[in-house]
Amino acid sequence: MRITSLQPQANNPERINVYVDGHFLLGAHARIVDQLALALDQELSAEQLEQLRNEEALQLAVDRALNYLSFRPRSREEIRRYLRRKQTPAALVETVLARLDALELVNDRDFASFWIETREQFSPRGTHALKNELYMKGIEREIVDELVSEEQDEERARRAGYKKAVSLLHSPDIDFATFRTRLGAFLQRRGFDYEVSTRTVKALWKQLR
């Protein structure tokens, strides 16, 4: 097989169309073409072709992971599951994760801190719910136990329930029993235990009435 043309793709100049013996063979990232020192009139061996295809498959998987990361930070397990859904071979998945490690783009402790901070700011959760969310994202129990504490559940519950309490109190003739039932259920759905929910309901009723 002789390379007869190396043409940048019209819609993406970072990718090169490789032609052998006058026929299109495949598209590859320009970095891989440079890495393998591919050149016009070069004879391409079967081993080189296999290496080219392997490197291209890896690059595509890395690019896919980087795009996935561009929307928000991800846990290692989230990336692993995403690549598997995209039918990335298992061996490549771990290689991609190793490359992301080298680029310092995946760190489960940093991700867990980001997730907790985001929840605290926009949608507070009780310790139980917050821990379960992190477990579901593949964060190790040791990290979760270190970063998530029950000590702040009272304050979290107040912030989580404040808007809901205001909304409930806008209802005409609402009584404490109805307020307690609806707000208590809301807080427990957010992962707060019965005792914290009960104290929070009483505190918000007293504060806002």
How confident is the model at residue 198, as a pLDDT?
95
* CATH code where residue 136 lies: 1.10.10
101 and 113 share one domain: no
Domain count, the chain: 4
Domain of residue 100: give its range.
Answer: 58-105
Q: How many CB atoms lie within 10 A of CB 94?
A: 12
Please check whether residue 51 lies inside any domain of the structure.
no
* pTM over cut 0.75: yes
Please check whether residue 50 lies inside any domain of the structure.
no
Please check whether residue 89 lies inside any domain of the structure.
yes
pLDDT tens track of the chain, all 209 residues? 888 999 998 888 889 999 999 899 888 888 898 888 888 889 888 888 888 888 889 988 999 999 999 999 999 999 999 999 999 988 899 999 999 999 999 999 999 999 999 999 898 999 999 999 999 999 999 999 999 988 889 999 999 999 999 999 998 889 999 999 999 999 999 999 999 999 999 999 999 98
DSSP for 18-84 reads: EEETTEEEEEEEHHHHHHTT--TT-B--HHHHHHHHHHHHHHHHHHHHHHHHTTS---HHHHHHHHH
Query: Is residue 123 a contact partner of residue 145, using CB atoms and an 8 Å limit?
Result: no
Please check whether residue 49 lies inside any domain of the structure.
no
168 and 198 share one domain: yes
For residues 181 and 162, give the distance between their C-alpha atoms in angstroms, rounded to a whole number.
15
125 and 138 share one domain: yes
120 and 80 share one domain: no
